[in-house]
Structure 1
Amino acid sequence: MSQFIPSIESGKKMLLLFAKSQTCTAGGIPARTVLTSVYNSRHFVERAPDLYTSPTEAILCPDLKQSMYAQLLCGIVKSAEVVVVGSIFASGFTRAINFLEKYWPRFCRDIRNGELDREVTDPAIRDAVNRILRPDPALAERVEEACRRKSWQGIIRDLWPNAKYIEVVATGTMAQYVPILEFYGDGLPLVCSSYASSECSFGINLNPICKPSEVAYTLIPTMAYFEFLPVDADDNCLVNLIDVKVGEEYEIVVTTHSGLYRYRVGDVLRVTGFKNRTPQFSFVRRKDVVLSIDTDKTDELELQTAVERAFGGLRPYGVTVAEHTSFADVTTIPGHYVLYWELRGGAEEVPASVFDDCCLVVEESLNGVYRQCRTAEGSIGPLEIKLVEEGTFDRLMDFAISQGASMDQYKVPKCLRPGPMVELMERSVKARFFSPKCPTWTSSMIL
């Protein structure tokens, strides 16, 4: 990053990081996520104190609300020193801004009085925050002036005026958060610096200030032994690292130093070029995320593209879709796709016909097999959009975390399975709309 943004190492990073509680296997072996392992490591705990604004005590706190509150407060208190803001995933940082939008009066009160909110009860957090919190009426007034505005466009620049970029993963399913973060950042670059998973680290982005849609990761050959399985090919058709072809898509397979042997990670990558003899890849999708009712197969990328096209119908009304997910409802005859949307903004009420048209736009954007089943065979019913109450997706994340998911690694599932998550969404539905007619289809579309 220092090659692209000079003096970036002279300030602090406000990176919102969240550790998860450790569990044990039946045999007593400690088990935790890779990020939680990092945050608890001596290397991280004994890091240079000037690197991050968040106290270690806040990062390690299992109470997510207290952790979020403390980390944001410290980030604002040290805002003059902050040169980087962000989180692991774009979804996490978006939620942090929404959290700030809800609680900014409390932050202003704490900063003005130099006293931490009483609802933050964790003793370790209180001690850590109180070491840096001092009465600062001028800062409180500046934060209040920025936050009381009707529009939050550029709020990140207003609160952290020296920030050079937003560091988040904004590729794959996280791409849906790019417009809202661009709105909050008002021109700040969105940096996707590296590609990693719990299995191993893969590579880095050698052009980190490029647009998220142009991100390509250069694999580091010494991180693991990498092999590639062409999409839809036989399991025995593995290709070596230097033998992949530009433009082709592959599922990545790893053999790692820690003992995984030819492990299928489940990520589908597209070769975009080479750095010397090392290939560069863009993340396409997760292989196993699909909607299916009959013979149709809708993958994550296709669904995301179709939904984004439908969003365009809401723009004239000043409305955006803050979060969305989907569900293949086979309880009806025939079964049909359900999209759950949580809306944000817009002073003008959106006519029902607009949402009906959104349903049709999604269907028109799906593949030929889906449209054949829907139009010619009648084996799939009209697509349905269900609008849910504000805060529903926060509750969905809270539920996932209560079941063992990690705050740092949580991603909104783009396809729900029957069970508690669908039940949670259904309890929050406030309106529903169906596609008004069948999408177009001809026999040539199936090819």
Structure 2
Amino acid sequence: MLPRFDPTNPIACFSVLEDVTTNVKQIQDSVLEAILSRNAQTEYLRGLLNGQVDKQSFKKNVPVVTYEDYRCYIDRIANGESHDLICDRPFSLLLASTGTSGGVPKLIPLTAEDMEQRILFASLYAPLVFKHIQGLSEGKSLMFYFVTRESETASGLPVRFMFTCVLKSVNPTNSFLWDRVQICPHAISICEDTAQSMYCQLLCGLLQRENVARLGAHYGSSFLKVIKFLEDHWHELCLNIRTARLSDWITDVQCVSAIGKFLTAPNPDLASLIEQECNKPSWEAIVRRLWPKAKCIEAIVTGSMAQYIPMLDFYCGGLPLISSSYGSSECFLGINVNPLSKPCDVSYTIIPSMGYFEFLEVDKDHQNADHDLAKNAPVIDLVDVKIGHDYELLVTSFSGLYRYRLGDVLRVTGFYNNAPQFYFVGRQKVVLSIDIDKTYEEDLHNAVTNAKLLLEPHDIMLTDFTSRVDSSSIPGHYVLYWELGRKFKDAKLELDRDVMEECCYTVEESLDSVYRKQRKHDKSIGPLEIKVVKPGAFDELMNFSLSRGSSLSQYKTPRSVTSEEAVKILEATVVSEFLSQKTPSWETREMHSGR
């Protein structure tokens, strides 16, 4: 585990970072020893290890598992059985993961000790940003955070999302550290009404625009939702600023009280300035124009979030996009020690104190996605990974997970001291499949990225997308749902059929040889279809997910949809449809690839 240190002391933070990334093997061995010695008598490990807590027995006898393999233990704990089924320490709560099982969030156990470690982990990163970006200390952060109303299990164990845990861990009676760093008062950030919270956070940020040194949200998609909210509410925000009177629909007592400290007198000059910027025909660089002293945007834009980079660049005027850290509900894992690296080059340095990490090598055909094959694949320690190789991560945590398949595919890019650095490739998940074809999240993202380049000459942006397989046709075919927007406000969205059909073809051309062969020669896959949906369709999809318990801070658009309800939402918003008019090449590309 991380040693205790003063998180407000940059020198102490750097010292710990250097130490844990240098002594990687020693720390990993110590972490595994600590986890096994503590938990050897739990029901789960006792049945597997029979008291043997050495590394060799662990690797030989403890199986690689998924959530579904482990679900029965977590369900038993949720229903009131003792924590010592899997862990020697009581759980303070269950975390609701952004991943789903059967359409609902997974539940991940968390101890109070592990929560403290995660807060320390976050402290390691903060000094790096100030070291690499000049001028941050001259202002504060306008970070948009949102909590979700917590629930509880049948036995009364709290269920929360990770960000709700972090935000509610701040002691409101001793929040001077928060106030020293954040523009928005803590009381507004923990408001459970998302609309009121977002409105008041924006209002705080606009009233103190000259003091904002950086902005952001957890995910790039979340920050774009804030911009869209601003686009819908800037008239009202300006009225509040002009009159020093808060809108009547803001009724949360803590929000009203916190805003009252800033909305003290009419400010018509500020209101006019904001109106002038927001009234311009294009919202290009609107973030930089409204917050002129901002130095960066902090939001995760790796993996599936890379889709949003062009839009973030458009709205933020080229401000550096910083992906700070890599983590999950199961475990916090790595930090970006080079904050100013380009989004496409971001690598995360694994912090070996946070858990015991192992890796399944992933071949180019993604064969490890087969669970039975993964069980027989060799498992590699953190210190034995090789640069340029792809791996799926296994986590053994202090909170009772053992050799748990996280489902993330990571590519080794180098080392920081002795700690491996990983590029986040994507989820080890087939998102589309009709016959023997298997299209993975990374494949789909790359194909869509190639296709959307055709839209740029027409000043059209792809704002979001998802996909599904349509098996109602013979043969079945891939369907992509695209939400499109114009770079200029009020400009009519007119789509050229030839361009859109070429987009369909480009996606197909970008998919792998198995798909293209099935399409061209075997005729077992039909032409790919793009369905354009009306503006706001993906907000409806998000609201559907939120209504089923997801968190706005942690919400990610699914890259494929399978539930009937989600498909109905999308189908109801379709405004135009396009089919690929050409079949993708196969023979020529196979010869060039040397396969």
Q: CA, structure 1 residues 78+418, in 2 after alignment: closer, same or farther (shift >3 Å)? A: same
Instruction: Give 2:274's aligned residue.
Output: 143
- 1:2 alignment partner, SS class: helix
What is the CA RMSD across the aligned residues, in angstroms?
1.6
Instruction: Give 1:42's aligned residue.
Output: 170
Instruction: Give 2:254's aligned residue.
Output: 124
Deviates most, 110-119 or 341-350: 341-350
Q: CA, structure 1 residues 354+45, in 2 after alignment: closer, same or farther (shift >3 Å)? A: farther
The answer to whether 1:209 aligns with 2:350 is no
2-structure distance, mates of 1:265, 1:54: 34
- Aligned positions, number: 447
Q: CA, structure 1 residues 289+166, in 2 after alignment: closer, same or farther (shift >3 Å)? A: farther
1:218-229 paired onto structure 2 within 5 Å: 218-229=349-360
- Could you tell me which of 280, 294, 303 is aligned with 2:421? 280
2-structure distance, mates of 1:10, 1:75: 15
- Could you tell me which of 469, 477, 495 is aligned with 1:336? 477
2-structure distance, mates of 1:82, 1:215: 25
- 1:250 alignment partner, SS class: strand
Give the conservation status (yes or no) of the 8 Å contact 1:230–1:250.
yes
The answer to whether 1:183 aligns with 2:314 is yes
What is the Cα deviation at residue 124 of structure 1? 2.2
Give the conservation status (yes or no) of the 8 Å contact 2:200–2:259.
yes
1:199-278 paired onto structure 2 within 5 Å: 199-231=330-362, 232=367, 234-235=374-375, 236-278=377-419
2-structure distance, mates of 1:435, 1:44: 57
List structure 1 runs of 4+ shifted beyond 6 angstroms. none
What is the Cα deviation at residue 141 of structure 1? 1.2
1-structure distance, mates of 2:418, 2:258: 48
- Could you tell me which of 441, 463, 469 is aligned with 1:322? 463
Give the conservation status (yes or no) of the 8 Å contact 1:39–1:45.
no
1-structure distance, mates of 2:354, 2:310: 33
- 1:261 alignment partner, SS class: coil
1:2-81 paired onto structure 2 within 5 Å: 2-43=130-171, 46-47=174-175, 48=177, 49-81=179-211
What is the Cα deviation at residue 13 of structure 1? 0.6
Structure 2 counterpart of 1:163, one-letter code: A
What is the Cα deviation at residue 7 of structure 1? 4.2
Structure 1, gaps ≥5 residues long? none
- Can you list the C-alpha shifts for 1:248-305, whole angstroms capped at 9, x where unaligned? 0000111111221111111100000011221100000011242111100001111111
2-structure distance, mates of 1:348, 1:443: 37
- Can you list the C-alpha shifts for 1:41-90, whole angstroms capped at 9, x where unaligned? 13577432232122323222222211111111111111111101000000
- Can you list the C-alpha shifts for 1:195-243, whole angstroms capped at 9, x where unaligned? 1111111111111011100101111110111111111354351101110
Give the conservation status (yes or no) of the 8 Å contact 2:434–2:469.
yes
Instruction: Give 2:573's aligned residue.
Output: 428
Give the conservation status (yes or no) of the 8 Å contact 1:204–1:217.
yes
Instruction: Give 2:499's aligned residue.
Output: 354
- 1:27 alignment partner, SS class: coil
Instruction: Give 2:113's aligned residue.
Output: none
| TM-score of the superposed pair, with normalisation by structure 1 | 0.97
- 2:180 alignment partner, SS class: coil
Instruction: Give 1:439's aligned residue.
Output: 584
- Could you tell me which of 287, 298, 304 is aligned with 1:173? 304
Instruction: Give 1:156's aligned residue.
Output: 287
1-structure distance, mates of 2:571, 2:235: 32
| TM-score of the superposed pair, with normalisation by structure 2 | 0.73
Instruction: Give 1:368's aligned residue.
Output: 513
Structure 2, gaps ≥5 residues long? 1-128, 369-373
Give the conservation status (yes or no) of the 8 Å contact 1:317–1:348.
no
- 1:167 alignment partner, SS class: strand
Give the conservation status (yes or no) of the 8 Å contact 2:437–2:514.
yes
Give 1 or 2: higher helix fraction: 2
Structure 2 counterpart of 1:105, one-letter code: H
Question: Kindly, what percent of the aligned residue pairs are identical?
Answer: 45
Structure 1 counterpart of 2:165, one-letter code: S
What is the Cα deviation at residue 444 of structure 1? 7.3
